[in-house]
Structure formats: structure tokens, C-alpha cells
Copies of this chain bind each other. A is one copy, B any other.
Amino acid sequence: MVTDFPYPRLGRHALDLMRLIREFESRLAGYAAAGLIRGSTHPGVGMEAVAVGVAIALRTDDTIASTHRGHAHCLAKGAEPGRLLAEIFGRSDGYCGGKGGSMHAGVAPHGILGTNGIVGASIGVATGAALAAQLRGQDNVSVAFFGDGAINQGIFHESLNLAAIWSLPVIYVCENNQYAQSAALRDMVANPDLTARANAYGIPTHAVDGMDVAAVYRAAASAVGRARTGQGPTLLVADTYRFLGHMVGDTEIYRDSAEVDRWRARDPIPRLTAELVERGLMGPDAVETVERAATQLVDQAEEFARRSAAPPVATAYLDVYQPDVHQEAR
């Protein structure tokens, strides 16, 4: 177990990333209202510490497989806000040329194997990416992000077992935000201790405070260390919360605002800020600098995304197959 968070080296970086994500995600409802976003959009406001705590423990060539609620993972792993937002807007400068959107955004050079519209699917894909690393003798590791809802999918079970018997370099990161859409975790499992599931497979596991980026980082770095040195998979269960609805438009009738407030009081951003200030790594005035930087980055991203052209319709027929000749074969 990595014993402490390297505040001097990573603290400010983590804060900047969390603030960027917060700003980015907070604007999505407005963009949707303005007609800039179609379909479903799932913001991760409140959950920034999990994405960031894990991502900063990774190298660029380590991979992540993400979920429907994946913007934070992408940004933390190095995606440019502008190109990500352009994808969410369905524009030609989006990472996927507008074909994927929020639920299918991938960034190959940053090892972002994609957000995913199928709850649980990230778990299987990440397991396979870890298998590739093992087979090819590479020391990069693979991360699967998924929610507390996804743990009840068969793929969770099958994949963790596979990773266990093959000692695959994969870290399973369960973002337990207490709800799967409208379903409270307490109603959907009889044993709310999700780490018990890892024991079933003989996989090491840690429960971690998902509102504390330092705690997440420590657990992740330790799991990454194990994976990188051939010691196999780990399941991390990060307790967290989404401050907003499940998706843009959710009226949240399944939970009361007192509960939301209790969790908001544990907001990971002020917590890290206070820690950095206390440690003298940041002046109190820098708080505003951090916020301004985030605002500016997302302003720029928005401008970039808004200006980006609609994708040419001919691209709709490309990249179904490679080469695109099969289209002609028919």
C-alpha cells in the first residue's frame, strides 16, 4: 500500500483536474437545454475524486475503460476538454467525429478505450486489455471504471474470476455512488459490503473514501503497483455520490435533498483545497486562480466545440469495416 499522497508533486494537479471536471460537468445541463446535446448525458459532479485519484496513478500507456458517466474519466486521463465537448456536441472535431457522443467517446493516444452505453461492459473490455498487456509482455495496466449498478451484471462476475485465475494486470474501480439510476444500492443487494464480492474470487480489495482524492490515489497506486509487477487484479470500492441527477432531466424523486446535502458536505474539492492550503502548498488566494483556470479552460472548450462543424454526412458510412471496401462488396 502506498502510504501517502504526494501532495507536493500531485496535489495541485489533482485539484486542477477536479475543478476542470466540475466545471465541465456542471455546464452540461445548460448545453442540453440549449439543444447542443442530444440523447442522454450523465454528469459526474461530486465523483471527481475517484476519476482523478485513479487517473493520476496511471501512465499514459495504461488504459481505462469507462461508463455512460465517463467524461470525468476521460478528462482525468488526459482528454482535451474541447475535443471531448465537441464529441458530446456531435461535431466533426470531436474525438470520434461526432459518431460516438457522450456514451461512446474514446481517445486512443491517451489509452481511453471509451465510455460505454452498456452498464457493465467496461469490466469485460478492461479485462481483455489487461490480457493483451500480459500476453504481449508489456507492463501497462488496465482500469475498469463501473458503478454500483454494474456489479450485479454477469460480466462483473465472469471477468473478475477470469482476471483472478490469470493474474491479469487490471484494477476494477467500483464507483459506488449509492444509486443506479433510481435504484438505491441498499435495495439492489443484500450485502452492501461490495468488497465481499472480491473475496469470492480471491481478489484483493479495498474500500476507499471516494470523496478523498488522496485516499483514492493511495489505493489506486498500490493496486497499480501490484498489477504492474504481475501480482494480479484488485477491486477498489470507492464510496461516493453524484450531486446531480442520474442524467440531465432527472427529477430525483428517489432520494431526498437532505441526503444530497449530507454528501455535498463531503465535497472532495474543498477538502483537497483545504489540505493543500494547510500544507502550505497553495495560498488561500490560489483558490480563485484554480477556479478561474477551470472556467477558462471550459470556456475555450465550449468555444472550440461550438465552432466545430457538423460532421460531413459521408462519414456516416465510414469505419464500419476496414478497409471500407466491404461497403462496395455489397
Contacts and interface: CB of A to CB of B under 8 A. Distances in A.
Interface residues of A, number: 22
Contacts of A188: 161, 165
A190 to B, nearest CB: 3
A202 interface: yes
Contacts of A154: 153-155, 157-158
Contacts of A189: 161, 164-165, 201-202
Determine how many copies of this chain the complex contains: 2
A190 B164 CA distance: 6
B197 A200 contact: yes
A203 interface: yes
Given A157-B156, A158-B154, A191 B200 contact: yes
Most chain B Cβ neighbours within 10 Å, of A161, A196, A200, A201: A200
Interface in A143-171: 152-158, 161, 164-165
A60 interface: no
24 contacts: A152-B157, A152-B161, A153-B154, A154-B154, A154-B158, A156-B157, A157-B157, A157-B158, A161-B188, A164-B189, A164-B190, A164-B191, A165-B187, A165-B188, A165-B189, A165-B190, A190-B202, A191-B199, A191-B202, A196-B199, A196-B200, A197-B200, A199-B199, A200-B200
